[in-house]
A and B are shown apart, each in its own frame.
Chain A
Amino acid sequence: MFYIRVTVRDALNQAMDEELERDERVFLLGEEVAQYDGAYKVSRGLWKKYGDKRIIDTPITEMGFAGIAVGAAMAGLRPICEFMTFNFSMQAIDQVINSAAKTYYMSAGRQSVPIVFRGPNGASAGVAAQHSQCFAAWYGHCPGLKVVSPWSAEDARGLLKSAIRDDNPVVFLENELMYGVPFEMSEESQSKDFLIPIGKAKIERQGNHITVVSHSRMVSLCLDAAAVLAKEGIECEVINMRTIRPLDAEAIETSVMKTNHLITVEGGWPQFGVGGEILARIMEGPAFNYLDAPAVRVTGVDIPMPYAKILEDNSVPQIKDIIFSVKKTLNA
């Protein structure tokens, strides 16, 4: 088996590069994506290779450029619209929801919108309240959107390629703290047509005692917690959601019917969130009868993100919180 180590950032960069090469209609626009090489260097080298026509620096006007991207998608192009962070997408959210997501339905199939909105989502490090919100639940709420949340480099590569090739609006939630993390990638995953299907979760670690469902950076913490718990004889099945919408409820149900216990782990706020949706689905589906204890959610603390390191660290789930919740659930 041949493996290479690739960071999430490089995986995203390569995916965009290959898709730009493959289809002339694909182009990237956003703040600093061209000459700055990307605020987080995700689009490094692309402007040099593809030029002004395909890699477009925009003024700081999210509502305007998101609308322009949607219009371009309606007229036959395949834009990748970068939000420097998804916090800024709130300025443009009307274009994402009302102009992109709903149009295929309102037009009864006449007008499709093949667009990808991508950028870092959720908490970072020390960027405080206005720059740390997780938008998975907000976008995951809306019919007409696909919402993807990759964790590993392989996820990033395969899901971004799928998102770009998808003929529908896709919200692609990256994570700034994951950009620099290297992962081993198989030879197979280096193929130019390596695609990960949107809407299918992946079992990152098999286990029999409890199902732990997560997305994005929190998957790393779940795996770390699982390693600690394994030493005490508790085997966690860690599921990486990969996609927020459509949610792979079946994968979660199958796992719960095996383990009889469930916790969800996310960085976002608890109320009306991703975990809330998963728990509701489990209640309503065949797995409910297999639960030996109530399913619970591990989430970010229900506050705006503070700045001081000690406060910030205690505003998001830590490995010890996951371990604690697993043990509570198993003892319940």
Chain B
Amino acid sequence: DRKCDVHKLEEGPPLQAVLTREEGLQYYRTMQTMRRMELKSDQLYKQKIIRGFCHLYDGQEACAVGIEAGINLTDHLITAYRAHGYTLTRGGTVREIMAELTGRRGGIAKGKGGSMHMYTKHFYGGNGIVGAQVPLGAGVALACKYLGKNELCVCLYGDGAANQGQIFETYNMASLWKLPCIFICENNKYGMGTSVERAAASTDYFKRGDFIPGLRVDGMDVLCVREATKFAAEHCRSGKGPILMELQTYRYHGHSMSDPGISYRTREEIQEVRSKSDPISMLKDRMLSNNMASVEELKEIDVEVRKEIEDAAQFATTDPEPPLDDLCNHIFYNDPPMEVRGTNPWTKLKSVS
């Protein structure tokens, strides 16, 4: 149990939490699945089976898993491009995520979106333009309030995005209109290759919302994240308006697969986080030392996860690419079929909704 730093709040989330065995095993499984999925993607990228942008989430698993544990699937969530973990917690399968990375027809976006553009129900991606997802998330929250279904929107962005003007525009409107929006800054200390000290005049991201109450949370501890999220959700659902959470976390990989991640930080730093604050190890140790699970049980989960990832990778590498006649589809929704110009005037392609 650890105390969160708070901003414009009388009190923070509870200092203690209850973790049931069931919950623990579920969080462990999901985080391990996320970890292995990202590491497998690293492999496939190096084999050139995944191409383009690939921003991996390993190290940050406690954030995605902890947040989902604090909300409902009927709530809404939007994030930026480091999105594979959230696609999983929001109902995507490893198979369809990996097949999207390899650009196959079985991908969650039929191969047309790629790493940064994956969507599920009540999950609005996957967004490539830094910061643009934040006004979108507040818009989703506006819809939640308008439709009166007691749902909220979790709206994520990184420490790099936190300096974007449109985020401050969003803080203003969300606060004025009391939108049920949990703004979450995943502070992994680096915006691409720029450390937080070099990018932000104030690195107290949980205070940057100014008039919006904020909390700073240990993002490597899945229970801290869960309890903070529950606290934040309660704040929103009670009609108090938006709230801001800073999750202090870390990414093991570089910014993307084209970044080795060691020109702007040391290997020692990465190693230290791995050995002292790894989210999966921390949960595992906690469960073992409290006799909530046995070593064998957790190993069995590891084996199952490994198999699931292997199967998914197999699918992702053998599923065919999308058919060429899908090229021009999905331009408009609910429209009659139309013609799309090809690369030359004689090529007329067909587009259906």
Contacts and interface: CB of A to CB of B under 8 A. Distances in A.
A and B together in one complex:
yes
Interface of A: 27, 53, 56, 58-59, 61, 63-77, 94-95, 98-99, 103-112, 114, 143-144, 146, 167-168, 246, 284-285
A107 B113 contact: yes
Interface stretch (B58-66, B141-149, B220-228): B141-149
A94 B127 CA distance: 12
A296 B331 CA distance: 31
Given A107-B117, A108-B112, A108-B113, A168 B333 contact: yes
B317 interface: no
Contacts of B147: 76-77
Given A106-B112, A108-B113, A71 B333 contact: no
A72 B132 contact: no
A72 B345 contact: no
Among A67, A71, A77, A104, the one with the most B-chain Cβ atoms within 10 Å of its Cβ is A71
Interface stretch (B11-19, B163-171, B276-284, B305-313): B163-171
Given A64-B172, A67-B132, A74 B113 contact: no
Given A64-B138, A76-B147, A144-B332, 15 more contacts: A27-B146, A63-B165, A63-B166, A64-B173, A67-B170, A71-B139, A75-B76, A75-B140, A77-B142, A99-B136, A105-B112, A106-B109, A106-B113, A107-B112, A109-B329
25 contacts: A58-B173, A63-B166, A64-B169, A64-B172, A64-B173, A67-B138, A69-B139, A71-B135, A71-B137, A71-B143, A72-B139, A74-B139, A74-B143, A76-B143, A77-B146, A95-B135, A95-B136, A99-B132, A104-B330, A106-B112, A107-B119, A109-B110, A111-B124, A144-B331, A168-B334
A71 B142 contact: yes
A74 B140 contact: yes
B165 to A, nearest CB: 7
B176 interface: yes
Contact of B338 (A68, A94, A246): A246
Contacts of B140: 71-72, 74-75
A110 B126 CA distance: 13
B135 A63 contact: yes
Contacts of A95: 132, 135-136
B170 A68 contact: yes
B110 A75 contact: no
Given A107-B109, A108-B109, A74 B335 contact: no
A105 B331 CA distance: 5
Interface string B121-159: 000110111001011111111111011000001000000
A149 to B, nearest CB: 18
A59 B176 contact: yes
A56 B139 CA distance: 13
A167 B329 CA distance: 16
B331 A104 contact: yes
A165 B335 CA distance: 12
B103 to A, nearest CB: 12
B52 to A, nearest CB: 13
B147 to A, nearest CB: 7
Contact of B117 (A56, A73, A76, A106): A106
Nearest to B326: A108
B143 A72 contact: yes
B231 to A, nearest CB: 24
B140 to A, nearest CB: 4
Contact of B144 (A59, A70, A75): A75
B353 to A, nearest CB: 7
Contacts of B132: 67, 94-95, 98-99
Contacts of B129: 94, 98-99
